[in-house]
């Protein structure tokens, strides 16, 4: 297996398409060879710019991806695309459509398009998507685009692997724009109004901007761009904006971020209490973590409001992940929570924990807890943690045979 994995690694690093393809199948199936591949390429990651494209079914994602491929290729970049097919591999509607739309580009050596079927198993899919991104990254693709249908939580799960998240918004979504607002507002780095040749495009653009203006945290306002992917009009502006982000090295400094995300996903997946409360990791970086929770029956107190203990647990989980993001164990020794606003059933809460200061043994962390709906402040938390100089046993990966 050792020589085998060394030759797979060399094949991937040399961009051998057949070996890349086989490696993807292995990591997708999560078989024994997947471990060998993961560890063989672990030191060759963090160079590519990973772009997540999400939005409603039929919204124009694949057409946009196709236009992006063309423009990036003209600029001399290589591009890999991962199209997540939410339907079964048998009906395969989206995959078939994508093959037709992106088909002509598959023959180009600088382009690699791969569909992954979700098979109704989100956790596994999110993990294998991260692994497939790593394979393409190790293979030297400059840009890796992940297309997912924004039909639920899956897009958030999968786009957390991206450095840049584009949320596409075709004209005339009507009330669906509210759904975008609730689900993916927090993750979008930019909104793209697709099909700008259609009559309602300007209205959709205005609605998105007014929705963004409502946010109380305006430190980074995601831009709203308009384009017609079928003709390529507006694509240059998007590509310029994307390349300005890539140059800033989102992923260079976050080669670490990528592995922190993986590590913390692993930690939260074995945290039984987090599972009981329905907590989900949204994003993470060294020293910070963002976790979300939807308030449901089991979180309610006797006044029919979200229990303070549930809010504390959400904040504590985000804080715990943030201070465990260095791979060693640390634990809370003191924590305070102030709740400023009652929370109703059905609301989504987001807890963003970040490091204020750190010495070898002691860290100070803050957590902002907000409503995802309008970014309003719900609670603030402060905690002091103690760092042990011991690797976290939950993070020890199975050995390669
Ligand atoms: N008028 C117009 N139609 C477009 C544009 N972009 C895409 N379309 C059409 O919209 C339809 C859906 O486009 P896709 O790119 O397949 O959309 P998608 O979001 O990838 O769809 P799924 O992957 O099936 O969810 C196709 O018929 C496209 O030709 C555009 O800029 N203008
Ligand atoms: Mg598509």
- CA-proximal residue: ligand 1, atom 32 (nearest): 195
Structure tokens at 332: 């809370």
Q: What is the pLDDT of residue 60?
A: 92
Question: What pLDDT digit, counting tens, does each position of 189-248 carry?
Answer: 899 999 999 998 999 899 888 888 776 565 667 899 999 999 999 999 999 999 888 655
Question: What pLDDT digit, counting tens, does each position of 324-361 carry?
Answer: 998 889 999 999 999 999 999 999 998 989 888 888 89
Counting Cα atoms < 13 Å in the Cβ hemisphere of 146 gives 34
User: What is the best residue among 57, 58, 84 to mutate for testing ligand 1's pocket, by most ligand atoms within 8 Å of CB?
Assistant: 58
Q: Is 350 left (phi over 0), alpha (psi -120 to 50) or beta?
A: beta
**Mean of all residue pLDDT scores within the chain:** 82
Q: How far is residue 169 CA from its own chain's centroid?
A: 18
**How far is the centre of ligand 2, averaged over its atoms, from the C-alpha of 149 (Å)?**
8
- Note the pTM of the prediction, 2 decimals: 0.65
Region 301-326: mean pLDDT is 96
Domains of the chain, start order:
45-247 (3.40.50.300), 255-395 (3.10.129.10)
Cα 106–Cα 109–Cα 110 angle in degrees, nearest 5: 95
**How far is the centre of ligand 1, averaged over its atoms, from the C-alpha of 103 (Å)?**
15
The protein residues having their C-beta less than 5 angstroms from ligand 2 (an ion) are 61-62
Question: Do residues 294 and 348 lie in contact, with contact meaning Cβ atoms separated by under 8 Å?
Answer: yes
CA distance linking residue 237 with residue 220, whole number of Å? 19
């Amino acid at each position: 297996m050792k020589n085998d994995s060394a030759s797979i690694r060399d094949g991937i690093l040399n961009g051998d398409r057949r070996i890349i393809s086989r490696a993807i199948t292995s990591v997708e199936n999560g078989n024994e060879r997947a471990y060998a591949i993961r560890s063989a390429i672990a030191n060759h990651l963090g160079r590519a710019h990973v772009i997540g494209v999400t939005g409603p079914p039929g919204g124009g994602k694949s057409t946009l991806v196709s236009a992006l491929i063309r423009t990036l290729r003209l600029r001399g970049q290589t591009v890999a695309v991962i199209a997540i097919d939410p339907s079964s591999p048998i009906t395969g509607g989206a995959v078939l459509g994508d093959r037709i739309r992106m088909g002509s580009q598959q023959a180009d050596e600088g382009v690699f398009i791969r569909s992954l079927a979700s098979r109704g198993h989100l956790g596994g899919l999110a993990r294998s998507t991260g692994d497939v991104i790593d394979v393409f990254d190790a293979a030297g693709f400059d840009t890796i685009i992940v297309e997912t249908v924004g039909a639920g939580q899956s897009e958030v799960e999968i786009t957390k692997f991206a450095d840049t998240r584009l949320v596409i918004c075709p004209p005339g979504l009507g009330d669906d724009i509210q759904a975008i607002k609730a689900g993916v507002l927090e993750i979008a780095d930019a909104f793209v109004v697709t099909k700008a040749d259609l009559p309602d495009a300007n209205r959709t653009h205005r609605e998105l901007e007014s929705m963004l203006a409502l946010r109380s945290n305006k430190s980074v306002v995601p831009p709203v761009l308009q384009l017609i992917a079928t003709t390529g009009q507006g694509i240059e502006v998007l590509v310029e904006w994307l390349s300005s982000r890539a140059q800033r090295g989102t992923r260079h400094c976050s080669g670490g971020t990528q592995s922190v995300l993986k590590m913390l996903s692993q930690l939260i997946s074995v945290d039984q209490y987090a599972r009981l409360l329905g907590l989900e990791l949204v994003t993470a970086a060294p020293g910070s973590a963002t976790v979300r929770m939807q308030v449901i029956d089991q979180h309610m107190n006797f006044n029919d409001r979200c229990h303070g203990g549930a809010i504390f647990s959400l904040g504590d989980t985000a804080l715990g992940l943030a201070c465990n993001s260095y791979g060693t164990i640390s634990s809370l020794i003191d924590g305070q929570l102030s709740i400023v606003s009652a929370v109703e059933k059905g609301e989504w809460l987001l807890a963003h924990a970040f490091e204020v200061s750190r010495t070898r043994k002691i860290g100070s962390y803050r957590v902002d807890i907000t409503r995802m709906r309008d970014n309003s402040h719900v609670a603030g938390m402060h905690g002091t943690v103690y760092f042990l100089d011991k690797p976290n046993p939950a993070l020890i990966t199975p050995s390669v045979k």
